[in-house]
Each structure stands twice: as C-alpha cells, then as structure tokens.
C-alpha cells in the first residue's frame, strides 16, 4: 500500500508501489522455503497514500490521512471475519502523514479483532538501519530522501526501462524534509522545483540490488518474528512524536 506519486523527472509514479509489491512477492518466496507449512496470501496492491509534499506535481494522488485509516481498518476487518489472523502491511512510502494513517488503522483493527498486524519497513527506515548497513558508496547518503540516489538505484535494478536517462544529468538537491519547520508544506513551498531531493545522478544498480534485498529481508524477518510471538520493532520515539504532529497540522 503506497501512493501513486511523482518521483522527479526521471522515475515512474509507481516507484513506491512497485518496490513494496515486488519485495512482498520475494519475501513470500523466501518464507515458503524456510517455513513451507505457512500459507502466504498476497493481497492486491492498494495504490493509496498521503503525499501532500509532492502534491504540486502531476502524477501524485494524495489521500486524506483519515481515509487511509478507514481503508486499512475495513480491509483487515473484512479478512479477519474469514479467519485471517496475521497481516504484514508492506509500504515503501515513508511520509509521516502516510504512516499516521496506516498505524491508526492497524491499531484500530487490533483493538477490534484478535489479529496481529505489522509494518516492517518504517521502523527499519527511521532507525537508520540502511545507513548503518549499506556498502561504502563514497559520499554521505543521509540526505538522500526522495527520487534520490537510493530510489533511482532501486529502479535501475528493478525496472531500468522505466528510468529516464535524464537522471544522469540531474544536480544534487538537498533539504531536510523531516524538520518540524517543513511539516505540512509542499516541495514547491520549500523551494524544490524538480520534485526530487538527493543525488539521483549517482545511482548504481548494484546498490539497488543490495537495497532491494534489505527490504525483502526486513519483511521476512519481521514476519517470522511475528509468527513466533516476538514483539515487533517500533518506530523511534522521535518519529512517533513527529507523526502525531502531522495529525494536528492536518
């Protein structure tokens, strides 16, 4: 579950959606090899998400936070009636408003039904695990945020025919999108005119392969831990506080 969203002049609007879907598929293959007794069902992709920041650009379809909460609750509640007890919500869109909607829906479902729901990538992403584990690339990757080095590398690995070659000539652009001062603002309101933040020209498909595998492994480990009754990783406290502030801004 991720939105259709612009990703600069060079990446497809389905970047987040394709990444989450493909990683979920690969995670299921891996889980079936390790735990053949488990039955995994991949629900159809849901192209919805909150993306006010990119809403200035064509291709972005932003859904209200409360709408995401409703969709998560309704879908999971419907499945719960048929006996489904374990859910892995796969999203690659890390907008705090988006996560606010998803987690609100997840919490509501778990209060209403005897089910377990996890969202693995948010805790991994916001705990900076990517930066801790990634191979040396020769530059600071902490500022790579949107349609950047990482996402362009991913698409060059997954769908190179969907990447416009113009990415090779794009200049590096940096902004702190997680600063409280920019929460609730759009790209153009903070001076981003091309719809990307980072260094897409540095993209490398080998890094994209590594990054994709990190997502898959995160899904797999979180799923197996849930099935064994282990407590799932949580979003860092600071991230949760910022996420709550998105509610008030909204």
In the chain, the domains with their CATH numbers are 15-228 (3.40.50.10310)
Please state the pTM of the whole predicted model. Answer: 0.94
pLDDT digit string (tens) for the chain, length 250 residues: 999 999 999 999 999 999 999 999 999 999 999 999 999 999 999 999 999 999 999 999 999 999 999 999 999 999 999 999 999 999 999 998 999 999 999 999 999 999 999 999 999 999 999 989 999 888 889 889 999 999 999 999 999 999 999 999 999 999 887 777 777 789 999 989 999 999 999 999 999 999 999 999 999 999 999 999 999 889 999 888 878 776 544 4
Q: Which residues are CB-neighbours of 5 under 8 A, at least 6 positions away? A: 13, 15, 16, 49, 51, 54, 59, 60, 61, 62, 93
Here the tokens at position 74 are 């309704």
pLDDT of residue 246: 62
86 strand-pairing partners: 116
151 to each of 43, 94, 133, how far by Cα in Å?
A: 24, 12, 17
- Look at the block and give the residue holding tokens 């579950």: 1
**Which SS3 state, helix, strand or coil, does residue 237 take?**
helix
Here the tokens at position 94 are 């890390």
How far is 144 from 134, CA to CA, in rounded Å? Answer: 13
């Amino acid at each position: 579950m991720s939105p259709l969203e612009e990703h600069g002049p060079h990446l497809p609007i389905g970047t987040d959606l394709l990444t989450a879907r493909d990683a979920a598929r690969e995670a299921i293959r891996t889980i079936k090899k390790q735990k053949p007794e488990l039955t995994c069902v991949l629900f159809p992709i849901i192209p919805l998400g909150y993306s006010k920041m990119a809403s200035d650009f064509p291709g972005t379809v932003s859904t209200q936070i409360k709408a995401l909460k409703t969709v998560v609750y309704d879908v999971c509640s419907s499945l719960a009636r048929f006996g489904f007890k374990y859910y892995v919500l796969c999203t690659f869109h890390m907008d705090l408003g988006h996560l606010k909607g998803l987690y609100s829906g997840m919490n509501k479902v778990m209060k209403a039904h005897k089910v377990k729901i996890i969202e693995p990538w948010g805790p991994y992403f916001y705990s900076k695990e990517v930066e801790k584990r990634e191979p040396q690339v020769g530059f600071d990757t902490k500022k790579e945020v949107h349609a950047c080095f990482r996402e362009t590398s991913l698409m060059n690995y997954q769908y190179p025919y969907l990447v416009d070659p113009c990415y090779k000539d794009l200049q590096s652009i940096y902004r702190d999108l997680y600063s409280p001062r920019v929460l609730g603002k759009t790209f153009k309101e903070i001076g981003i005119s091309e719809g990307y933040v980072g260094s897409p020209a540095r993209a490398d498909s080998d890094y994209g392969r590594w990054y994709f595998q990190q997502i898959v492994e995160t899904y797999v480990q979180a799923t197996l831990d849930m099935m064994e009754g282990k407590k799932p990783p949580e979003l860092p406290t600071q991230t949760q506080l910022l996420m709550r502030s998105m509610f008030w801004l909204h």
